[in-house]
Structure 1
Amino acid sequence: MAEVKKPFHEQVAERLIEQLKAGTAPWQKPWEPGMPGSFIPLNPTTGKRYKGINAIQLMAQGHADPRWMTYKQAAAAGAQVRRGEKGTSIQYWKFSEEQTKTDEQTGKPVLDANGDPVKVTVQLERPRVFFATVFNAEQIDGLPPLERKEQTWSAVERAEHILAASGATIRHGEHDRAFYRPSTDSIHLPDKGQFPSADNYYATALHELGHWTGHPSRLDRDLAHPFGSEGYAKEELRAEIASMILGDELGIGHDPGQHAAYVGSWIKALQEDPLEIFRAAADAEKIQDFVLAFEQKQIQEQTTQQAIEPAQGATMEQQQDQVARPAIAPADELIAQTLRMYRAGAEPAEGNQSLAALTETTLGFELPADWTGRVQVQANVEVEHDGERSVVPAGDREPEFWGVYANHAWGGHQWLADFAGPDAQTNAEALADRLAVIDAYATANEYEQAAKFARIHEERVRRDPNSTDEDRVAAKEARKAAEGTAMLHDEDLQRRIADYEREQQEMAQAMNAAEQPAAAQAPAKPERAYLNVPFKEKDEVKALGARWDRQERAWYVPAGVDPAPFAKWAREGATAAVEARAEAQPTQPTAERPNAAQERVYLAVPYGERQVAKAAGAQWDKVAKSWYAGPNADMGKLQRWLPDNVPTQQSPAVTPEDEFAEALKSMGCVVTPGGEHPIMDGKKHRIETEGDKKGEKSGFYVGHLDGHPAGYIKNNRTGVEMKWKAKGYALDPAEKAKMQAEAAAKLAARAEEQERQHEATAQRIGRQAQSLVPITEPTPYLRDKGLQVHAGVLTDQEGQKTYIPAYDADGKQWTMQYIQEDGTKRFAKDSRKEGCFHVVGGMDALAAAPALVIGEGYATAATVAEALGHATVAAFDSGNLQAVAEALHAKFPDKPVVIAGDDDRQVQITQGVNPGRTKAQEAAKAVGGKAIFPIFAPGENAYPKELPPITPENYRNHLHAEKRLADAAAGKVQLSEADTAKLKESLLNDGQLAALSNMKKHTDFNDLSERSSLGKDGVERQVRSAVGKVLLDEGQRQKVQQLKQQDIEQQEQRQRRARTY
């Protein structure tokens, strides 16, 4: 009788037990420093190292060469595994698999344009473990000699940096002991001089740092065991394996001589539980990742600390244990503190830098004060249209560069930086990651902060090429758990849900009282027509539309499918039923509500959909740990979660892409057959939504096929979002209708909440205005702009700050612009700005003005008012011009509209767009008005022809080179002489920079008045001439209109006289 093969974990454990007895286990072998990457196994084909138990298993084979590969990989490299060599097994997990797509009608494989079978990714219900056989390079002929990794860094410096960045308390002075004390959360070491070398000291210190990671506030391992106990030995095993991996990564070597006392306990632990070495190896990888996360790399590597099961009762302490706080530089932390202060509505303390100045100094660009925390990374190209070059998303084209943009609270985007070159995408994503960390640290709510930390962690794991499917799934689950906890502690959301549930309950009770006082039953399950199908014919019935019933272990004809083609497989006695269904499909019984006295109808509700089910009347059974249809439930909405409607088997009929496309459509996104969406690559994508204007893309989604296909969708037009997870079927029309109803409810709740916030802020601003005084002498800002004092503008008691109230067309004040002495501007937090404005001269004066003249900022509007001699309007920024113009045009429909716009020519040169001119023209067009722009003296706002031209591309190269050289000067990066010289060649010269600076000072009518040689006279000539022409044109238009009206009236009179005769 053949010997039964032992499980993989028992084979690994037995081998390691023998090696432990002999003192030759992988972590028992000493390594000399200075040879990084020489011991941990790696695959030269993929460039990745083996992790966890696979690394231990391969190291235990005793080969000196760390390279391992499969037989096919060796052959592909032109090498050959020697005859008779025995391979080594490793294991890995699969969460999805590829299958050949078949035609639904014929059952034959679907071929692509090249004649190859089309593959689809199918989600597995239960992840599968697979085994691969690999061979060491010493078992293979024809491979090139091993090239040892050259150590180009100081291992001591890297280790010291990790220790310092960790913030761990390290106390020296122990005679000959090194240990970590959990009770005081401190590491104790002998003095450095007692170690034979610096490498020995840092190897010991990092070993104890490994124990330090087990604290409940970090990776939360079980450390509560006395010295010499089995529990203590298990923790020592984890730290020892982690020290081995760290020693190879840093090149500081590995000295296991101090840990021989634990061998007996290790052997006993593996004999009693062979899986202990698997857990220890996995924990060691987490320790190594946690420790290396303190090292600031271009892209920090930080994998998950533990798999997290989402639970409704998750606490904040648990969330902090599950995902570590990412490291942050002191300068970035200062930005986060300042940003948190701005978001709280406070002003910087005396002597502190403003957010704009601080971010300009630290980051090289200004972060907007109303930054939402969201950052967009976009692949871009330059295109030419009508002789003008502009930047557009790359789409299907090869990106020329990558841009990073910050989201404003009002929905717009602000360009932050561009990156070009071979590492452009990596650098852009690194900046986005840095900003995400700043935003997380600036978040006051601890639950939302934990969720942001989890999102950062998941994104880092996703970008890490060494991450496994297990890493990605664990990171995603950790993020979902953190988001769930944050949502449960969102008081505003819970209040809106409670209000919505109360309204639904009241509505249901009213319907019950009016229609049917007696409660009804759950919908009956239609009888299925089961088939007798031989195994060899299963593909045929499947192609015809039959489905498999796992409980009955039989194929059946689903509702809506023509049963006639299945007659030959009908079970005896069921043929008549099949034929009858072919003639007429039975109608479904009306869905009615279950009576509370009846047996509960339990539901299969995914965690991410629980709030929607709850809103439809589902309730939670704490004993059964399941949702059920409550007494006032709407069974029509809950039907999708009935157990019979939730597939429990793998179903390749719907690919994740098709299912996700259906989810996008249900959210109002426009998905066309054969179109580009969805793109399931784990990246962010914009998509058109229903109701969008041409060129708009109000939809946003991320979809991926890694592990269990999942994604996120948000319709920014409706405000509804969805966390999607592949289930194997498409959303039905009923579910779409339910989601649309939910979208309407959420939209109404959001509008109500925003209206409440705006009203509360307006009242707060009104109270604040009572402590301010009218300006009698120009404030520093007014003096700098050369403006007179106009009624309506306020200041503080010291007369230093400038406060400009903003009203709607009905005269209600909603917000106020605060201008510091240095010109820094901001608006009141949670205030309404859209459509609000300030009238220079007051609303009564505007009513008497011959025209509506609207400028971007207050300085422009006041300058123009002084030149025209009548009231003008400040819209505060270019994005608000159209809303203000439309509101005032509706109030004064007989007045012509003139938009006094900014001419941002320097932005046109450096970025390919002129936002001031574009927005002004759009606003004028919307109300049938006229846009005017300042005309400067020759050379004042034009780029000198004698200088080398500046394009968006070479300006981006300049910014990139400037940043790299600055980082090199600060010691952040090292550059070769060749790289330095090349970067310096990309810099703009002093003349070019001076020209841009000069152009930036000559953009609006206030610049024309104060900085141009034309001065105030130039402003008067230009605006009076332009506005006068508009008034003349308006007079002519009105005269023509009157003549047309007279002709119409005369014609009607002639017709009436003709009918009289």
Structure 2
Amino acid sequence: MAEVKKPFHEQVAERLIEQLKAGTAPWQKPWEPGMPGSFIPLNPTTGKRYKGINAIQLMAQGHADPRWMTYKQAAAAGAQVRRGEKGTPIQYWKFSEEQTKTDEQTGKPVLDANGDPVKVTVQLERPRVFFATVFNAEQIDGLPPLERKEQTWSAVERAEHILAASGATIRHGEHDRAFYRPSTDSIHLPDKGQFPSADNYYATALHELGHWTGHPSRLDRDLAHPFGSEGYAKEELRAEIASMILGDELGIGHDPGQHAAYVGSWIKALQEDPLEIFRAAADAEKIQDFVLAFEQKQIQEQTTQQAIEPAQGATMEQQQDQVARPAIAPADELIAQTLRMYRAGAEPAEGNQSLAALTETTLGFELPADWTGRVQVQANVEVEHDGERSVVPAGDREPEFWGVYANHAWGGHQWLADFAGPDAQTNAEALADRLAVIDAYATANEYEQAAKFARIHEERVRRDPNSTDEDRVAAKEARKAAEGTAMLHDEDLQRRIADYEREQQEMAQAMNAAEQPAAAQAPAKPERAYLNVPFKEKDEVKALGARWDRQERAWYVPAGVDPAPFAKWAREGATAAVEARAEAQPTQPTAERPNAAQERVYLAVPYGERQVAKAAGAQWDKVAKSWYAGPNADMGKLQRWLPDNVPTQQSPAVTPEDEFAEALKSMGCVVTPGGEHPIMDGKKHRIETEGDKKGEKSGFYVGHLDGHPAGYIKNNRTGVEMKWKAKGYALDPAEKAKMQAEAAAKLAARAEEQERQHEATAQRIGRQAQSLVPITEPTPYLRDKGLQVHAGVLTDQEGQKTYIPAYDADGKQWTMQYIQEDGTKRFAKDSRKEGCFHVVGGMDALAAAPALVIGEGYATAATVAEALGHATVAAFDSGNLQAVAEALHAKFPDKPVVIAGDDDRQVQITQGVNPGRTKAQEAAKAVGGKAIFPIFAPGENAYPKELPPITPENYRNHLHAEKRLADAAAGKVQLSEADTAKLKESLLNDGQLAALSNMKKHTDFNDLSERSSLGKDGVERQVRSAVGKVLLDEGQRQKVQQLKQQDIEQQEQRQRRARTY
């Protein structure tokens, strides 16, 4: 099985999914209070804790010691990571980097007084992700025992201080459960006495405070999801992780017992989007930072409410004059009074039951105790799925009935009643109106109550067919006036508005600070000498003093810098072309230009300043990975980010093609500058890999640019594969069309050149063959393989080398295989091999053969031909089997096809794949044939059970160690004694290597004939039996086909006779 390199986020998500299923994910474990810093991972070298996904990733490893460090940090502390211990990967982001300051005129490094290069810090526009490997203290020898931090504070007092400083509205005793209600922006908790301990109470309160931070006036998370939904579960995941982190910080512990109901939704979310846990962990850190910030605030006394000026809004008397209070039945008024008492917290514990009984008696259904006052009317239909009937919204279908639903405080809905018949919608809306009146009378705040009365009045006017336009306008204005008055008297809303205005003022101040005294438009661009620089050489030209032009997306030589060192990157006519394009439309506005997207004014905006730039009109280019001035941008405010005004800036973003090329290189594929690879056309391509012999292409890839560029890479030499996806690129249609056109042109040129080379090589081989002679005596290769002399094979005048011509199905010779005396094989350079073959016995003999029997190499095909007594075919290698089988099957469609494949068991052990068996089976399947393989005597091609097993991983380690030790012996590298000993431990032992060597000698039918104890007799028995069975099956198939054909002909004859009568 091939080893798959999965992205970091998928590896983390998969581990957490398994732990969620087992109930062992970090936030699912209870942590006892009183031990701060006892379970969140920390780095003892830096004294800082790991944050976000790194904390989750490390906690998921299951170690009791919270200390983690790198290998070097452990060594610096006088400790040593134990041999064989596996590290855990973590990721971190880099938002700035140091660059060498260069002289703007010469482009040379600026030196300080000591002669050292001056460094400047550059804020990155595109933060970079890096990975590190850390080890737990339990994996390290020599570390001192863990010293638990003594708790020098009262966790309860700290928690109480945070709650008080937050200013959150917290109500106790109204419910027997804890929740945050977004509609009222309030936290609801049972009485403190109902909690088993103070720690448990504050842990619960801080958990709900975590939800409270998601309000739009604070961290602004998406909280509008009903209980039980995926969105609700995602929010709960953030609050749960934040509670765990906060519990460790304060020392109040963590109790996850009440959140087991979300596990299924959490698992589903991570399976569908592995990055969700990364976002959740990041949001949890924001929640924790937001909550702990309240410790730095001073609790201020609340000021008394000031009187509202008459000019601020209408008085209650004026409001009531505009909208009359709707009438309410005595029974409904009793429900409203009970509901009002309940909402105010004055109803005793039995209140829930009395409310339920009252509404059941009066309305015919129970109103939920936490009803928000909102009602939903919905058209429904009943559908059947898998034998079960369910109710769904009607959508575009004709409604079968109408339902009325009440909203819970936690966001869910409760069914109240259904209405069917011709007046169903009218009756449903009438019930909704009745409930709206009850809710309005149950509202304690007189301003909010007046606004609800106004909404009821407007809705009634809207539904009344006798209402005039003037009536509707008057009702709307009355509702708006009532809502305005309610807003002016809403203290919480006024506080949020003040916070928002303060934030806007701070933003404006930041933007004013960003303004520079400059012209309103970008300055004219000076003449520039542009360069043609491959991505991998960008650092070289940058070191020489080149600068990046975001407008043209090209490197150039700045004024004052010597252009001589840049000669090899010179772009002939590039500067002139740029100037010509600029002069072609000197006065045409940007909005009218057909290529406006290419004429954008790009900006060098650091990541931390992106919001200020965005507020000034900057927009993000997903392809160029850069900010640019939008159509309505304020260029005066964007001046500071013009590239010419930013002396040091991040290098340009890598293109999808360059990024895919780097991925190919990381997989061991050979990518040359200016070469044909990669070809991003969505088709399969072969590519040379490291270690390939001349002409071999063990690499395979597919890359496409559709939507989000992605691809697949596999190194068949190592067995490793990769699913690649570009880092955030989404090409616009013009860019994608351009790249696809370039790829198509590259492919067409490649095909044309290849065809020309193939034809020239075929003619050269034809002339070369005139100097060769037919074989009369076996050559060294034929003697070594135990083969007879067959017509069609050639040799030189000395009779030493073996030459095997290869033809296509039409009989044209395209290439020739050359086999040296020692068995070394090669093909003619620049020749065509795909679909070409050699027939042992000749094409006439193949036409007379009862079946098409195709083997990999000549030795296999000749061995099988001698055993069967008729012509066979050599395809030369496993990768050519299918092409040859399809070509010959098309030429001889009535002949059954048998593929005599190789069984590469040693490759299966060392690389995880069996190419001989796999390719033979694929070829047979493609033409409806049969694949057969040699069966050796016991022990001849099987790995001995008494030896230590070999896996692809330890075989790769063996090859790596073997090469490193060989380099050390040749003086190419120097190794310490410890490194040498460790490398030697990775080597396979002599018994393992001998077993692999023996298995390699027993793979094909020629090996069965010459190296197996079964010998030629074994080959004859196996191939004659297998081919005979295929012929028998084919004969039966043909016989059945003939009978079917006879039946059809007889049926047609009867029909013709019937028509004559």
Normalised to the residue count of structure 1, the TM-score between the two structures is 0.37
8 A contact 2:67–2:136 mirrored in 1: yes
Between the aligned partners of 2:820 and 2:350, the Cα distance in structure 1 is 12
User: In the alignment, what sits opposite 1:924?
Assistant: 924
Deviations 1:690-728, CA, capped at 9 Å, x for gaps: 999999999999999999999999999999999999999
Between the aligned partners of 1:335 and 1:831, the Cα distance in structure 2 is 93
Between the aligned partners of 1:499 and 1:431, the Cα distance in structure 2 is 40
Does structure 1 residue 1057 correspond to structure 2 residue 1057?
Answer: yes
Deviations 1:281-303, CA, capped at 9 Å, x for gaps: 99999999999999999999999
Q: Which moved more, 1:607-616 or 1:980-989?
A: 607-616
Q: Which moved more, 1:576-585 or 1:949-958?
A: 576-585
Between the aligned partners of 1:57 and 1:539, the Cα distance in structure 2 is 34
How far off its partner does 1:901 sit?
A: 0.7
Deviations 1:1021-1054, CA, capped at 9 Å, x for gaps: 1111111111111000111111122222333344
Over 3 Å counting, the alpha-carbon distance change for 1:167 and 1:431 in structure 2 is farther
Over 3 Å counting, the alpha-carbon distance change for 1:654 and 1:901 in structure 2 is closer
Over 3 Å counting, the alpha-carbon distance change for 1:78 and 1:606 in structure 2 is closer
Between the aligned partners of 1:753 and 1:485, the Cα distance in structure 2 is 80
Over 3 Å counting, the alpha-carbon distance change for 1:283 and 1:766 in structure 2 is farther
User: In the alignment, what sits opposite 1:859?
Assistant: 859
Aligned to 1:125, what secondary structure does the other structure show?
A: strand
8 A contact 1:708–1:726 mirrored in 2: yes
Over 3 Å counting, the alpha-carbon distance change for 1:809 and 1:980 in structure 2 is same
Aligned to 2:383, what secondary structure does the other structure show?
A: strand
Over 3 Å counting, the alpha-carbon distance change for 1:776 and 1:28 in structure 2 is same
Between the aligned partners of 2:347 and 2:837, the Cα distance in structure 1 is 23
Deviations 1:745-765, CA, capped at 9 Å, x for gaps: 332222111111110111111
Structure 1: state its 5+ residue gaps. Answer: none
8 A contact 2:809–2:887 mirrored in 1: yes
8 A contact 1:860–1:874 mirrored in 2: yes
8 A contact 1:337–1:441 mirrored in 2: yes
How far off its partner does 1:188 sit?
A: 87
8 A contact 1:390–1:912 mirrored in 2: no
8 A contact 2:511–2:612 mirrored in 1: no
8 A contact 2:924–2:930 mirrored in 1: yes
Aligned to 1:817, what secondary structure does the other structure show?
A: strand
What is the 5 A alignment of 1:449-464? none
User: In the alignment, what sits opposite 2:107?
Assistant: 107
Between the aligned partners of 1:800 and 1:486, the Cα distance in structure 2 is 104
How far off its partner does 1:174 sit?
A: 99
Q: Which moved more, 1:553-562 or 1:678-687?
A: 553-562
Q: Which moved more, 1:469-478 or 1:765-774?
A: 469-478
Over 3 Å counting, the alpha-carbon distance change for 1:469 and 1:749 in structure 2 is farther
Over 3 Å counting, the alpha-carbon distance change for 1:386 and 1:479 in structure 2 is same
Q: Which moved more, 1:286-295 or 1:689-698?
A: 286-295
Aligned to 2:150, what secondary structure does the other structure show?
A: coil
Deviations 1:353-397, CA, capped at 9 Å, x for gaps: 999999999999999999999999999999999999999999999
Over 3 Å counting, the alpha-carbon distance change for 1:294 and 1:623 in structure 2 is same
Between the aligned partners of 1:357 and 1:1010, the Cα distance in structure 2 is 95
Between the aligned partners of 2:352 and 2:1012, the Cα distance in structure 1 is 33
8 A contact 2:515–2:638 mirrored in 1: no
Over 3 Å counting, the alpha-carbon distance change for 1:577 and 1:1010 in structure 2 is closer
What is the 5 A alignment of 1:228-239? none
Between the aligned partners of 1:945 and 1:840, the Cα distance in structure 2 is 39
How far off its partner does 1:881 sit?
A: 0.6
How far off its partner does 1:857 sit?
A: 0.5
How far off its partner does 1:1017 sit?
A: 1.5
Q: Which moved more, 1:1026-1035 or 1:307-316?
A: 307-316
How far off its partner does 1:1019 sit?
A: 1.2
8 A contact 2:717–2:911 mirrored in 1: no
How far off its partner does 1:937 sit?
A: 2.0
Between the aligned partners of 1:924 and 1:606, the Cα distance in structure 2 is 59
Over 3 Å counting, the alpha-carbon distance change for 1:942 and 1:648 in structure 2 is closer
Between the aligned partners of 1:753 and 1:52, the Cα distance in structure 2 is 54
Over 3 Å counting, the alpha-carbon distance change for 1:864 and 1:700 in structure 2 is closer
How far off its partner does 1:950 sit?
A: 3.5
Between the aligned partners of 2:669 and 2:464, the Cα distance in structure 1 is 30
Aligned to 1:96, what secondary structure does the other structure show?
A: strand
Normalised to the residue count of structure 2, the TM-score between the two structures is 0.37
Over 3 Å counting, the alpha-carbon distance change for 1:432 and 1:183 in structure 2 is closer
Over 3 Å counting, the alpha-carbon distance change for 1:297 and 1:934 in structure 2 is farther
8 A contact 1:219–1:305 mirrored in 2: no
How far off its partner does 1:885 sit?
A: 0.5
Q: Which moved more, 1:1043-1052 or 1:350-359?
A: 350-359
Over 3 Å counting, the alpha-carbon distance change for 1:308 and 1:235 in structure 2 is farther
Q: Which moved more, 1:834-843 or 1:520-529?
A: 520-529
Q: Which moved more, 1:187-196 or 1:647-656?
A: 187-196
Between the aligned partners of 2:422 and 2:974, the Cα distance in structure 1 is 17
8 A contact 2:807–2:836 mirrored in 1: yes
Over 3 Å counting, the alpha-carbon distance change for 1:171 and 1:143 in structure 2 is same
Over 3 Å counting, the alpha-carbon distance change for 1:834 and 1:81 in structure 2 is closer
How far off its partner does 1:993 sit?
A: 2.9
Over 3 Å counting, the alpha-carbon distance change for 1:313 and 1:208 in structure 2 is same
8 A contact 2:707–2:730 mirrored in 1: no
Between the aligned partners of 1:131 and 1:40, the Cα distance in structure 2 is 20
Between the aligned partners of 1:148 and 1:781, the Cα distance in structure 2 is 75
Over 3 Å counting, the alpha-carbon distance change for 1:265 and 1:466 in structure 2 is farther
What is the 5 A alignment of 1:1033-1048? 1033-1048=1033-1048
8 A contact 1:608–1:723 mirrored in 2: no
8 A contact 1:564–1:582 mirrored in 2: no
Deviations 1:628-655, CA, capped at 9 Å, x for gaps: 9999999999999999999999999999
8 A contact 1:301–1:460 mirrored in 2: no
Between the aligned partners of 2:465 and 2:61, the Cα distance in structure 1 is 26
User: In the alignment, what sits opposite 1:272?
Assistant: 272
How far off its partner does 1:782 sit?
A: 0.7
Over 3 Å counting, the alpha-carbon distance change for 1:487 and 1:112 in structure 2 is farther
8 A contact 1:663–1:730 mirrored in 2: no
Aligned to 1:555, what secondary structure does the other structure show?
A: strand
How far off its partner does 1:844 sit?
A: 0.9
How far off its partner does 1:872 sit?
A: 0.5
Over 3 Å counting, the alpha-carbon distance change for 1:187 and 1:929 in structure 2 is same
How far off its partner does 1:931 sit?
A: 0.8
User: In the alignment, what sits opposite 1:321?
Assistant: 321
8 A contact 1:521–1:593 mirrored in 2: no
Deviations 1:293-325, CA, capped at 9 Å, x for gaps: 999999999999999999999999999999999
Between the aligned partners of 1:987 and 1:332, the Cα distance in structure 2 is 87
Over 3 Å counting, the alpha-carbon distance change for 1:665 and 1:82 in structure 2 is closer
8 A contact 1:591–1:636 mirrored in 2: no
8 A contact 1:659–1:731 mirrored in 2: no
Q: Which moved more, 1:591-600 or 1:484-493?
A: 484-493
Over 3 Å counting, the alpha-carbon distance change for 1:676 and 1:112 in structure 2 is farther
8 A contact 1:345–1:828 mirrored in 2: no
Q: Which moved more, 1:510-519 or 1:307-316?
A: 307-316
Deviations 1:814-862, CA, capped at 9 Å, x for gaps: 1111111100011111111111101111111111111100001000111
8 A contact 2:705–2:731 mirrored in 1: no
Deviations 1:92-113, CA, capped at 9 Å, x for gaps: 9999899999999999999999
Over 3 Å counting, the alpha-carbon distance change for 1:718 and 1:214 in structure 2 is farther
8 A contact 2:507–2:612 mirrored in 1: no
Over 3 Å counting, the alpha-carbon distance change for 1:911 and 1:758 in structure 2 is same
User: In the alignment, what sits opposite 1:1008?
Assistant: 1008
Between the aligned partners of 2:897 and 2:1052, the Cα distance in structure 1 is 33
Does structure 1 residue 604 correspond to structure 2 residue 604?
Answer: yes
Over 3 Å counting, the alpha-carbon distance change for 1:625 and 1:682 in structure 2 is closer
Paired positions, count: 1061
Over 3 Å counting, the alpha-carbon distance change for 1:228 and 1:26 in structure 2 is same
8 A contact 1:529–1:577 mirrored in 2: no
Q: Which moved more, 1:414-423 or 1:783-792?
A: 414-423
8 A contact 1:563–1:582 mirrored in 2: no
Deviations 1:403-428, CA, capped at 9 Å, x for gaps: 99999999999999999999999999
Q: Which moved more, 1:896-905 or 1:986-995?
A: 986-995
Between the aligned partners of 2:713 and 2:215, the Cα distance in structure 1 is 37
Between the aligned partners of 2:1007 and 2:888, the Cα distance in structure 1 is 26
Greater C-alpha radius of gyration? 2
How far off its partner does 1:29 sit?
A: 60
Over 3 Å counting, the alpha-carbon distance change for 1:1060 and 1:377 in structure 2 is same
Does structure 1 residue 209 correspond to structure 2 residue 209?
Answer: yes
Between the aligned partners of 1:417 and 1:360, the Cα distance in structure 2 is 12
8 A contact 1:523–1:590 mirrored in 2: no
